[in-house]
Amino acid sequence: MIKITLRDQPLMLEKHLSLSAVLHQHEIKGEHFAVAINLTFVPRSDYDKTFFKEGDVVDIILPMQGG
Amino acid sequence: MWQLGDKTFSSRLLLGTALYPSLSVMQEAIVASETNIITVALRRQSPEMKSGQLFWDAIRHLNCAILPNTAGCYTANDAVMLAEMARELFQTHWIKLEVIGDEYTLQPDAFELVKAAKILIEKGFEVFPYCTDDLILCKRLLDVGCRILMPWAAPIGSGKGLIHAHDLITLRVRLPDATLIIDAGIGKPSHAVQALEWGYDGVLLNTAVALAKNPVEMARAFKEGVHAGRRAYLAGMMEERNMAHPSTALIDTPFWHQV
């Protein structure tokens, strides 16, 4: 097990889980979000092949009102 | 119709989506403005924030092109990363590039802005840089491949209007081939009229509509202001004169001999 942070919340998960699997587990779905790990953008095409290491910080980025 | 980047539009008014009293008022204002382009932002999802789905649902059927911004970025690297996220999320290569250099005035950081613009253009983006009215900065942005420039009129959200008239007019004169859009600082429709009369290609604003007592009516007012300014520019305005010139001919008026 490793500890990461997802949306500012600590999360324990098995090391072999991909980003794709974690998003699925947390019902983060649809087309209108983006992901950054440790402040680095992860393209959607890489979700299946992205795995975590201890201490990773995962942010979900959403559309918002802006000027 | 006018060309903006690789697209053609009828409206020269670009409208922001923030600060409205509600999403429904925002939608009404966007429709009333007849804008073709709306700006949006990206934010980290916090635990208490369920999703951006409500906002996305509110804008997706408005039939407007989406111009995502990089608001909140202070470095070129951050802005580039946010732009890449925006491209994936909104399926557009357009980016309103904001790289702020001072948190009090929200003045753009000229150095980081040029650096970010260069990287993004190499990555295939159409960059809309939010910049100052500094001629040399604007030239550098054009040098790295920007086709569109968005100089501020005044600090974001201030509503002060076109405070550096001479510099803004100079930009238009010195950069006749660039698409110039005033971004930030517009407070009322007369400011938009003025910018379009000077030959600016468009105006981008948000707060002036969103914080009006009646945002929907103000959106209509801006629509009409932008039309008026553009028509005046195309019509060709008279030269200002220092002395009075009677508009009515005096010869043969009943009392001409008393003059």
CATH code of the domain covering residue B193: 3.20.20.70
For residue B96, indicate whether it is catalytic. yes
- pLDDT tens string B217-236: 999 999 999 999 999 999 99
CA dist., res. B20 & res. B164, Å (int) = 28
B256 within domain boundaries: no
Using alpha carbons, list the distances in angstroms from residue B27 to A61, B57, B108: 23, 11, 29
Q: Which of A63, A66, A61 is nearest to A7 (CA)?
A: A61
B249 within domain boundaries: no
Q: Taking CB atoms and an 8 Å limit, are B52 and A67 in contact across chains?
A: no
- pLDDT tens string B177-203: 999 999 999 999 999 999 999 999 999
CA dist., res. B246 & res. B186, Å (int) = 35
The predicted pLDDT at position B21 comes to 96
Structure tokens at B166: 């001479």
CA dist., res. B94 & res. B37, Å (int) = 11
B247 within domain boundaries: no
Provide the residue range defining the domain that includes B40.
Answer: 2-100+108-235
Tell me the pairing of strands B126-131 and B148-151: parallel
- pLDDT tens string B62-76: 999 999 999 999 999
The predicted pLDDT at position B190 comes to 98
Domains in chain B, number: 1
Q: Which residue of A has its CA nearest to B55?
A: A64
Q: Which residue of A has its CA nearest to B204?
A: A67
Helix, strand, or coil here: B57?
A: helix
Angle at B38 between CA B35 and CA B42, to 5 degrees: 175
CA dist., res. A52 & res. A38, Å (int) = 11
The predicted pLDDT at position B249 comes to 82
Structure tokens at B76: 């070129």
The predicted pLDDT at position B47 comes to 66
Note the pTM of the prediction, 2 decimals.
Answer: 0.92
**Domains of chain A, each with CATH number or no CATH:** 2-61 (3.10.20.30)
The predicted pLDDT at position A35 comes to 96
Q: Taking CB atoms and an 8 Å limit, are B45 and A36 in contact across chains?
A: no
B250 within domain boundaries: no
B242 within domain boundaries: no
